[in-house]
């Protein structure tokens, strides 16, 4: 149980285009999902917290208009990188909290999406 | 930055040896968690230790927590080549917020 999927697993796009990444909780409901960014050989940095049915909460320094987050259902959150530039190239990872599980403090992570912007 | 720090940054050992990784953090926490990440993959939750606990075991993993020093350690005993990965500590602050703050990570290489 507690599986989180991401799609696509990798994407290459041209500079200036927009890319949408999906994060799904497959066997549980997640009222809260998190989006992280990880540069090579570095740690995960939280970008935003996504709450179902409400606006996302962005971390300081993360551009809301560039990284659009939608959490329309209890099993799906999407991150759209708008007008992507080469510096947006990174590994994007989502996670979800299963509030019904005993370990409610545990976040389950997706496999990540590698974005390369040419 | 509130990000925690881990040391060593990289650790190379032989199979069968023990591996110890340390994590320091900056704020008052509710719990501390350790995660494992294989290269280019997502994170796998290993163990969670709450702020009122001092030590926890799970299989070959042993985690300690010293809240007075704001530090934790992860010990992997009898390491295997399959343990090769990056290991991250993550803290949940003692506030109403649910976010995790990750440490800088330790890259572990276990040679056969």
- The residue among B10, B5, B1 whose CA lies nearest residue B70 is B5
Q: Tell if the CB–CB gap between A107 and B100 is shorter than 8 Å.
A: yes
| Distance from C-alpha of B24 to C-alpha of B7, rounded to nearest angstrom | 9
Percent of chain A with pLDDT over 70: 93
- The residue among A110, A104, A106, A87 whose CA lies nearest residue A36 is A110
Nearest to A49 among B31, B44, B99 (CB): B99
> What count of CB pairs under 8 Å joins A to B?
55
- The residue among B53, B54, B36 whose CA lies nearest residue B45 is B36
- The whole-number pLDDT of residue A99 equals 67
Q: How confident is the model at residue B47 (pLDDT cuts 50, 70, 90)?
A: very high
* Closest chain A C-alpha to B86 CA, distance in angstroms: 9
B99 in contact with chain A, both atoms CB, cutoff 8 A: yes
Nearest to A109 among B31, B42, B103 (CB): B42
- The whole-number pLDDT of residue B2 equals 59
Higher-confidence residue of A78 and A102: namely A78
| Distance from C-alpha of B67 to C-alpha of B56, rounded to nearest angstrom | 14
- Tens of pLDDT, residues A5-14: 999 999 999 9
| Distance from C-alpha of A43 to C-alpha of A38, rounded to nearest angstrom | 6
- The whole-number pLDDT of residue B92 equals 86
**pLDDT at position A105 over 80:** no
DSSP A7: E
- The whole-number pLDDT of residue B5 equals 85
**pLDDT at position A104 over 70:** no
Which of A30, A43, A101 to mutate to test binding with chain B, by most B CBs within 10 Å of its CB? A43
- The whole-number pLDDT of residue A72 equals 82
Contact call for residues B62 and B71 (beta carbons, < 8 A): no
Query: What is the arithmetic mean of pLDDT over B27-35?
Result: 91
**pLDDT at position A29 over 90:** no
- The whole-number pLDDT of residue A52 equals 83
- Tens of pLDDT, residues A38-66: 998 889 999 999 888 888 999 999 999 99
- The whole-number pLDDT of residue A54 equals 83
A58 in contact with chain B, both atoms CB, cutoff 8 A: no
Phi and psi at residue A88, in whole multiples of 5°?
-85, -10
- Half-sphere exposure at residue A20, Cβ-oriented, CA atoms within 13 angstroms: 7
Task: Give rounded-to-5 percent helix, strand, coil for chain B.
Answer: 5, 60, 40
């Amino acid at each position: 149980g507690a599986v989180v999927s991401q799609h696509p697993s990798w994407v290459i796009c041209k500079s200036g285009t927009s890319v949408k990444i999906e994060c799904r909780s497959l066997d549980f409901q997640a009222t809260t999902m998190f989006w992280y960014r990880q540069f090579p050989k570095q740690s995960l940095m939280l970008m935003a917290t996504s709450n179902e049915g409400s606006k996302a909460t962005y971390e300081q320094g993360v551009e809301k208009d560039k990284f659009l987050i939608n959490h329309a259902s209890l099993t799906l959150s999407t991150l759209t990188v708008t007008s992507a530039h080469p510096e947006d190239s990174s590994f994007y990872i989502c996670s979800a909290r299963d509030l019904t599980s005993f370990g409610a403090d545990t976040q389950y992570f997706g496999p990540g999406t590698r974005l390369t912007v040419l | 930055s509130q990000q925690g720090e881990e040391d060593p940054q990289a650790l190379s050992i032989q199979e069968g040896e023990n591996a110890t990784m340390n994590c320091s953090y900056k704020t008052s926490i509710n719990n501390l968690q350790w995660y494992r990440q294989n290269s280019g993959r997502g994170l796998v939750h290993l163990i969670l230790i709450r702020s009122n606990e001092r030590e926890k075991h799970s299989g070959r993993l042993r985690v300690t927590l010293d809240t007075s020093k704001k530090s934790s350690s992860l010990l992997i005993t009898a390491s295997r080549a399959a343990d090769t990965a990056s290991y991250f500590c993550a803290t949940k602050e003692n506030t109403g917020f649910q976010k995790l703050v990750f440490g800088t990570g330790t890259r572990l290489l276990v040679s056969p």
